[in-house]
Amino acid sequence: MVFFFLVLFGFLSFTSSQMSHQYHFINIRKNWTEAQRFCRENYTDLATVNNAVEMNSLFKTISDVSYDVYIGLYRSEVFRWHWSLPDGYNVETFQNWKDKQPDINNNEGCAVMDNNGKWFNDSCDSQRQFICFDATANQKYILIEVNKSWREAQEHCRTFHTDLANARDASENRNVKNTLKNKDVWIGLFKDAWSWSDQSNSSFRFWNSSQLSNIRRDQDCVSVMVNQTGKWKDVQCNTTQPFICFSELKSQSTTKPATPAATTTENRPAQNTTDGGNTSSQPTQILTTGPEQDNLILVHENLTWTEAVSYCRKHHVDLVSIHSEELQNRVARRAIHASTSHVWLGVRYTCTFIFWFWIENREAGCYQNWASGHGPRGYEECRLSGAMESTGGHRWVGRPESERLNFICYTCADIK
């Protein structure tokens, strides 16, 4: 059964160096949100899958069980373009759309290349010829002169070659254009609203064929179907089932056993509780030990917003989200000890839907404390994230997410 993955995805050798996750099967039934919290507290996060090699490794951990398990993929509010070839390429690095393309009203499109090498989006169910990419062959680009839907074309290319052809820079775009024989063909660019719990940009998808026509929008979380050789399906997030966590391979020597015993405190990662407990290799963390704030940690390390998210999720639970005045006051009392003028919060701006949202629960919050000219009624632009003033009124402001600031994590105790 494991060999199935190695045959289905002809690029095993092409992606073997991309194995970065170690997976842990947790045989406890939880809903998706509870499973996410468990994984963040005890490992790194709910499982992310970057490529076929990692999917093969994940499936090994559950091949002896007979029920479906959660992974970290969920339906978000933001639709994004991805390259089919799962190598982490940034879609924004190179684009070659036709005028007035892509159609922003088409939220679930797939990309077509015309005979001029320009792109346009179309329904993924349309029937078209397509171009495959083969990383191991002398002829890297192969025109398949059979009409298929985009998903069918992707599966064909992954079965017999490497993947649908990507056009991630001008050189690749020319290579695809020179192969298409004046036809409009599918390329490996698709748009969806599925995101990973750890906020990585993995474009790897392994849907069961029945999912291609599933139009329900109340099933926002993803399960691996053990009886379908590991294919994925969407389910309601309040379903309770076992799940898969992951940890980074670089921490393999200290990885905790993947058993229910991981819920005990002695199996959780050690956390510094005072400045005096800090070591030279760790950022300074300030954790109040009183009952009021024993789950808020100020980290005296200047990181970008994305780096701060990763740090909090690796060492604690997440960047702090603020949904009440009481929590605002608690976070403010942490912020006054920061060494930067602002501290990162777990709120970010989406250009696609033009609103601010808290990353912990992936929705906009009701309680707000924005400074004048910031937030929903202020100046907004792409790649803004939210920060709190360290002094003064402790208002929230939008800052470029590349800026380096202290930040506040929260840990295991519930935030109310």
Picking from 88-97, 206-215, 231-240, 293-302, which range would have the lowest pLDDT averaged per residue? 206-215
Report the candidate in 257, 298, 258 with the shortest Cα–Cα distance to residue 274.
298
* H or E stretch at 325: helix 325-335
Question: Does pLDDT of 4 surpass 50?
Answer: no
Question: Does pLDDT of 68 surpass 80?
Answer: yes
Residue with the bigger pLDDT between 344 and 414: it is 344
- pLDDT-based confidence at 184, cuts 50/70/90? very high
The average pLDDT across 347-376 equals 75
The average pLDDT across 186-210 equals 87
Average pLDDT, the chain: 79
Question: Does pLDDT of 11 surpass 50?
Answer: no
Report the candidate in 377, 380, 298, 383 with the shortest Cα–Cα distance to residue 344.
298
Query: Which token pair is 218?
Result: 């109340």
Picking from 12-21, 203-212, 285-294, 316-325, which range would have the lowest pLDDT averaged per residue? 285-294
Q: Is the whole model's pTM more than 0.75, yes or no?
A: no
The average pLDDT across 70-80 equals 88
Q: What is the pLDDT of residue 155?
A: 85
Share of the chain above pLDDT 90, in %: 36
- pLDDT-based confidence at 110, cuts 50/70/90? very high
The average pLDDT across 115-139 equals 92
Report the candidate in 252, 224, 256 with the shortest Cα–Cα distance to residue 73.
224
* Per-residue DSSP letter, 260: G
Domains and CATH numbers, the chain: 18-75+201-268 (3.10.100.10), 89-199 (no CATH), 270-410 (3.10.100.10)
Residue with the bigger pLDDT between 271 and 339: it is 339
Q: What is the pLDDT of residue 106?
A: 67
- pLDDT-based confidence at 292, cuts 50/70/90? very low
The average pLDDT across 58-84 equals 87
Picking from 15-24, 109-118, 173-182, which range would have the lowest pLDDT averaged per residue? 15-24
pLDDT in tens, 264-290: 222 223 333 333 333 334 455 544 333
Q: What is the pLDDT of residue 258?
A: 35
pLDDT in tens, 205-230: 888 876 654 555 678 999 999 876 78
Q: Which of 5-14, 289-298, 384-393 has the highest mean pLDDT?
A: 384-393
Q: What type of residue is 348?
A: R
Number of H helices, E strands in the chain: 8, 20
Cα–Cα distance measured from residue 30 to residue 32, given in angstroms and rounded to the nearest whole number: 6
Residue with the bigger pLDDT between 392 and 95: it is 95
The average pLDDT across 122-130 equals 92
Query: Which token pair is 66?
Result: 């007979």
The average pLDDT across 226-253 equals 81
Are 86 and 196 in contact by the 8 Å Cβ rule? The answer is no
Give the chain's largest Cα–Cα span.
71
Q: What is the pLDDT of residue 234?
A: 92
Q: What is the pLDDT of residue 143?
A: 96
- Residues recorded for the chain: 416
